């Protein structure tokens, strides 16, 4: 790196510093300019002093040689000559002004501080910032009181009579509740009441620990005990965990306020459960204010708790808390939902069982009716046909070589065929094909039996997944299929018959097709011709709510 060199050209007087105000210094335009400022020294800092001037404060840095002489300047009005600078953030934004003094000659004391400041007369806490006292300017005042709360290096609260006062201080000297102290500080307006800033104190004695005043939320909201030690009763709504603090949300009468407990560590003591009725002891502080013309009025307040001992449980939370109530409602709702679901399932099961019982009753009724018909056919028609056949056989045996005999033999053969048909019908009625394997199996079984009496080829096909149908529906479908097949090989002389049963999503479809002689569908045989097959199929279809469709043409099948 190249070294810089300098050349001394001569000597010149410094320019006369210009007088500057706090507002001019905060503008940033005076950076690195020689200036003269005036103010009251408020306190000592690590680099120098804190100077109150105008509406703000300025950090004044001094050389190490001057630091030891600065303590005598606290509360003195001084005039300083030096260089203006400032503090910047990482965004190169001007944050606060600074001032640097390089020698004792740059410090002029305009109004010295008292030699023994604690010897000054004490002022009443209630008189702070009143007009008569404020005429003295911004110098320190002395007050006395008893310590009610202390946060080392932050603040101390004292009580004088019944009036509390907040004091902001950097002092860390130990203090205990009940210590009598004298305080020197600069009066300043707080949120609602006056307070002291940049204060120092000394312990002068010990008195009994002050007791809190019992107060109502309305009294605290009006600011009557601002800065004072009070006790208020309220209901704990919830506690919020913060870093090194716990925030309690309290309801008292119609007011909701916060009580803050500061902790020396992040470990929190065990706090009462939500819903507990508490007595809280702490420092009342007005948190927000409103303005009405020239008058300032409190709006909200909070409590500063000194320790967990300031929380006293009067009544534990009721067992029927909101949380337990919601839990109970949840259990009741779940139980009610379960009962409703169980009732719904029970009703569904009962409905299914009722339907099954109805189906069983239908099947039993059909079976009973079939048995009754079979018995009647067997006991009446079959026996009568048997008797007629016996008589015809006897007549034929007595008549030889006569045309009448041959006709009687024809009649006897027809009679035997009718008797065979009756016996087959009785057998069908006695053998419950539907009960053994369902509709599809019954159709196949019936088709196989009809095939034995005919040379026609019968093809039975089932499409889809077979499902159980009401007994009455299956019975009529089976009878329709049997009647259609019978008609095909008896009347149509069909050589091929195809029976298809379709199980579809919205129902069941039965199709019987043959390649017989066919007929004109509009001229289908009926009552007049003594044929009742088609009429019976129509009637059975109506009984089960089915649609009966008939397609046939001469020599084109049916």
Using alpha carbons only, give the angle 114, 153, 266 rounded to the nearest 5 degrees.
175
pLDDT 10s digits, 120-136 = 888 888 888 775 544 55
Residues in CB range of 67: below 8 A, 6 or more apart: 48
- C-alpha distances in angstroms, 378 versus 127, 167, 267, 426, 430? 130, 122, 101, 7, 11
Question: What average pLDDT score do residues 29-34 get?
Answer: 88
- CATH code linked to domain 125-315: 2.40.50.140
DSSP 112-137: PPPSSGGGSPB--GGGTT-HHHHTT-
pLDDT 10s digits, 323-337 = 777 888 889 999 999
Structure-token pair, residue 273: 């459960």
Question: What average pLDDT score do residues 413-428 get?
Answer: 65
Mode of pairing for the β-strands spanning 155-160 and 141-151:
antiparallel
Mean pLDDT across the chain = 83
Q: Quote the distance between the C-alpha of residue 65 and its chain's center.
A: 67
Q: Position of tokens 């605290």?
A: 220
Three-class DSSP category at 280: strand
Q: Tell me: pLDDT of 202 over 90.
A: yes
Question: What average pLDDT score do residues 308-316 get?
Answer: 91
DSSP 32-72: T-EEEEEEEEEEE-SSEEEEEETTEEEEEEE-HHHHTTSGG
Higher pLDDT: 496 or 416? It is: 496
pTM summary value: 0.57
Q: Tell me: pLDDT of 313 over 90.
A: yes
pLDDT at 196: 92
pLDDT at 132: 54
Three-class DSSP category at 191: coil
Q: How confident is the model at residue 253 (pLDDT cuts 50, 70, 90)?
A: confident
Length of the chain equals: 558
Question: What average pLDDT score do residues 487-492 get?
Answer: 81
Question: Contact, 231 vs 207, CB < 8 A?
Answer: no
Using alpha carbons only, give the angle 289, 293, 299 rounded to the nearest 5 degrees.
15
Instruction: Report which of 518, 430, 446 is spatially closest to residue 478, judged by C-alpha positions.
Output: 446
Three-class DSSP category at 219: helix
Residue 370: which H helix or E strand, with range? helix 322-376
436-558 matches 125-315 in CATH topology? no
pLDDT 10s digits, 162-180 = 899 999 999 999 999 999 9
Question: Contact, 233 vs 292, CB < 8 A?
Answer: no
Three-class DSSP category at 529: helix
Question: What average pLDDT score do residues 13-20 get?
Answer: 88
pLDDT 10s digits, 33-45 = 999 999 999 988 8
CATH superfamily of 18-111: Nucleic acid-binding proteins (2.40.50.140)
Cα 10 from Cα 39, distance rounded (Å): 36
Lowest mean pLDDT among 91-105, 141-155, 293-307, 394-408: 394-408
pLDDT 10s digits, 84-99 = 998 888 888 888 899 9
- C-alpha distances in angstroms, 537 versus 145, 181, 489, 532, 540? 115, 117, 17, 9, 5
Please, is 105 exposed, middle or buried when counting C-beta atoms within 10 Å of its C-beta (0-12, 13-18, 19+)? exposed
Lowest mean pLDDT among 46-50, 114-118, 238-242, 450-454: 450-454
Structure-token pair, residue 48: 């120098």
Q: Tell me: pLDDT of 529 over 60.
A: no
Q: Tell me: pLDDT of 229 over 90.
A: yes
Cα 348 from Cα 311, distance rounded (Å): 59
Higher pLDDT: 50 or 389? It is: 50
Cα 249 from Cα 260, distance rounded (Å): 9
Q: Tell me: pLDDT of 29 over 90.
A: no
pLDDT at 120: 86
- C-alpha distances in angstroms, 440 versus 433, 448, 465, 478? 10, 12, 11, 9
Q: Tell me: pLDDT of 17 over 70.
A: yes
User: String of b and e for 416-452 (b: at least 16 CB within 10 Å)?
Assistant: eeebeebeebbebbeeebbeeebbbebbbbbbebbbe
Residue ranges of the domains in the chain?
18-111, 125-315, 319-431, 436-558
Please, is 404 exposed, middle or buried when counting C-beta atoms within 10 Å of its C-beta (0-12, 13-18, 19+)? exposed
* Architecture of the structural domain at 436-558: 2-Layer Sandwich (3.30)
Question: Contact, 450 vs 458, CB < 8 A?
Answer: yes
Question: Contact, 477 vs 507, CB < 8 A?
Answer: no
């Amino acid at each position: 790196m190249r070294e810089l060199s300098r050349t001394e050209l001569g000597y010149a007087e410094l320019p006369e510093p210009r007088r500057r105000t706090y507002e001019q210094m905060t503008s940033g335009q005076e950076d690195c300019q020689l200036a003269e400022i005036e103010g009251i020294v408020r306190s000592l800092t690590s680099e120098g002093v804190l100077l109150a001037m105008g509406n703000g404060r300025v950090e004044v840095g001094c050389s190490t040689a001057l630091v030891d002489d600065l303590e005598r300047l606290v509360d003195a009005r001084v005039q300083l000559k030096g260089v203006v600078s400032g503090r910047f953030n990482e965004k190169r934004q001007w944050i606060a002004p600074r001032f640097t003094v390089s020698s004792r000659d740059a410090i002029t004391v305009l109004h010295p501080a008292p030699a023994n400041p604690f010897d000054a007369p004490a002022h009443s806490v209630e008189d702070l910032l009143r007009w008569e006292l404020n005429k003295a300017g911004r110098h320190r005042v002395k007050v006395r009181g008893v310590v009610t709360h202390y946060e080392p290096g932050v603040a101390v609260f004292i009580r004088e009579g019944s009036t509390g006062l907040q004091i902001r201080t950097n002092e860390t000297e130990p203090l205990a509740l009940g210590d009598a102290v004298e305080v020197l500080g600069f009066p300043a307006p707080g949120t609602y009441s006056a307070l002291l800033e940049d204060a120092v104190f000394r312990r002068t004695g010990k008195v009994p620990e002050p007791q809190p005043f019992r107060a109502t939320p309305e009294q605290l909201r009006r600011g009557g005990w601002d800065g004072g030690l009070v006790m208020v009763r309220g209901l704990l709504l919830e506690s919020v965990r913060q870093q090194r603090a716990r925030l309690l949300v309290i309801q008292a009468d119609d007011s909701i306020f916060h009580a803050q407990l500061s902790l020396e560590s992040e470990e929190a003591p065990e706090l009462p459960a939500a819903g507990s009725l508490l007595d809280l002891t702490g420092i009342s502080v007005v948190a927000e204010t409103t303005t009405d013309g020239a008058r300032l009025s409190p709006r909200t307040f909070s409590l500063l708790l000194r320790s967990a001992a300031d929380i006293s449980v009067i009544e534990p939370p009721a067992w029927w808390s909101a949380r337990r109530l919601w839990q109970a409602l949840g259990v009741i709702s779940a139980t009610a939902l379960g009962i409703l679901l169980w009732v719904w399932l029970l009703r569904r099961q009962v409905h299914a069982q009722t339907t099954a019982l109805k189906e069983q009753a239908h099947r039993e009724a059909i079976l009973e009716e079939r048995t009754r018909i079979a018995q009647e056919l067997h006991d009446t028609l079959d026996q009568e046909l048997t008797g007629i056949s016996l008589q015809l056989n006897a007549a034929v045996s007595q008549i030889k070589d006569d045309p009448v005999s041959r006709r009687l033999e024809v009649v006897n053969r027809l009679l035997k065929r009718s008797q065979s048909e009756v016996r087959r019908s009785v057998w069908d009625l006695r053998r419950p094909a539907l009960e053994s394997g369902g509709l599809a199996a019954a159709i196949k079984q019936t088709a196989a039996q009809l095939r034995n009496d005919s040379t026609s080829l019968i093809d039975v096909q089932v499409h889809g997944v077979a499902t159980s149908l009401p007994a009455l529906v299956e019975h009529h479908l089976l009878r329709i299929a049997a009647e259609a097949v019978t008609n095909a090989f008896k009347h149509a002389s069909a050589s091929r018959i195809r029976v298809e049963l379709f199980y579809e999503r919205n129902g069941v479809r039965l199709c019987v097709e043959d390649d017989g002689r066919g007929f004109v569908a509009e001229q289908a045989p009926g009552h007049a011709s003594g044929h009742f097959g088609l009429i019976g199929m129509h009637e059975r279809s109506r009984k089960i709510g089915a649609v009966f469709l008939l397609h046939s043409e001469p020599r084109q099948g049916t």
